[in-house]
Amino acid sequence: MRPSSLPAWAAVGLLVLGGCDAGQEAETAQETPDVAGVDGTVGEVSLDDVFLDAEDTVEAGAAVPLRGVLTNDAEQADRLVGVSTPSAESVQLLDESGAPSADGIELPAGGQVEAVSEAVRMQLEQVTAPIAPTDTVPVTFTFATAGEVTLDVPVTAGPGPVD
């Protein structure tokens, strides 16, 4: 007759259940709210949850926030130096206070710029034609080091007001 391994299984069960009780100290407590955005990468930079923040149709001539999370996995800083789309006259890059940033948006080495639920950092200006909530818009992001990537960005309502 084989000895029972019940104590070993009980220990494994406690370890597994203990991981479920990580609470607000868990790394996932810092994650960005999930939205129906698009993801992409170029070089060592990843773009996550990129979307145009609008609940209804964006009318021609209007402005609309472009939101997303930019992560730089490189060992040196990079910079978002330009964003363009045929759907707007221009895309304004903004600093943390919301003021226009002629120098672009810095992505620190191994760091992140979170612009989903925090301050708006990019905004389409003078939309050229109405953009419906079911549309996607081609948007090209240009980074000083990583290069350029074009994403088909959806329109969706963001996670709510920013304090």
Query: 33-156, which class in CATH?
Result: mainly beta
pLDDT exceeds 50 at position 136: yes
Q: What would the two tokens of residue 115 be?
A: 């612009």
Structure tokens, 56: 């209804």
Sign of CA dihedral 68, 31, 147, 82: positive
pLDDT for the residue numbered 132: 94
Top pLDDT among 55 and 6 is at 55
- Name the 3-class secondary structure at 13: helix
Distance from the Cα of residue 95 to its chain's centroid: 16
Q: Nearest Cα to 91, choosing from 82, 78, 99?
A: 82
Q: What are phi and psi of 49, to 5 degrees?
A: 55, 45
SS3 content of the chain, % helix, strand, coil (to 5): 15, 45, 45
Q: What is the pLDDT of residues 43-82, one digit of tens each?
A: 999 999 999 999 999 999 999 999 999 999 999 999 999 9
Model pTM score: 0.76
Q: Look at residue 19 and tell me whether its pLDDT is greater than 80.
A: no
User: Domain limits of the chain?
Assistant: 33-156
* Confidence label for 118 from pLDDT (cuts 50, 70 and 90): confident
Q: Across-strand partners of 20?
A: none
